[in-house]
Amino acid sequence: MTLYTAIYNSPVGPIVIESDGEALTGLRFGDSGIGKALHLMLTHATSSLPIFDEAIRWLDDYFAGKQTENAIMGAKTDGQIAVQPKGTLFQQRVWQALVTIPYGKTVSYGEIARMVGCKSAQAVGQAVGANPIALLIPCHRIIAAHGKLGGYAYGQEIKKQLLNIEQP
């Protein structure tokens, strides 16, 4: 399988976007994937893919403070971007629950655990942390009990900035 990559320069730092050519398979903040992405771009010439155009339009809208639709896992509909994250069945269930969280809203790890029929908020936290498609599968909208910010794979500062973008 060929992996296509693109780099998006966001207001909170670089984002590496990955696709199999049809759907997004990864969207990660930070420099960690850029060396790998640049290597892949050099070894697999990336043509302009429609999925990248869609993702970049979505990211432009998101960072402009416009309310955006979450991704959809499976068949694409208008306004949504198709994603195909790789993970266990449990992770897939958790990520499917994440895409139901509306723009500007937050829910707790415990609430997600109840949504997916799991007794362990910690297990949900691990699945949330393994999410390979940040923003479109909105793991930044998950907070700890009692309204505390909680962790984020890309750091609490980026999580704060993302949540601030979504506030009216």
DSSP letters spanning the chain = ---EEEEEEETTEEEEEEESSSSEEEEEESSTTHHHHHHHHHHS-----HHHHHHHHHHHHHHTT---PPPEESS--TT--EE-----HHHHHHHHHHTTSPTT--EEHHHHHHHTT-S-HHHHHHHHHT-SBTTTS-GGGEE-GGG-----TT-HHHHHHHHHHT--
Q: How far is CA 52 from CA 43, 126, 158, in A?
A: 18, 28, 22
φ, ψ of residue 111 to 5 degrees: the values are -65, -40
Catalytic-labelled residue, pool 139, 142, 143, 162: 139
Centroid of chain to Cα 120: 22
Q: Is 139 a catalytic residue?
A: yes
**Active centre residues (catalytic):** 139
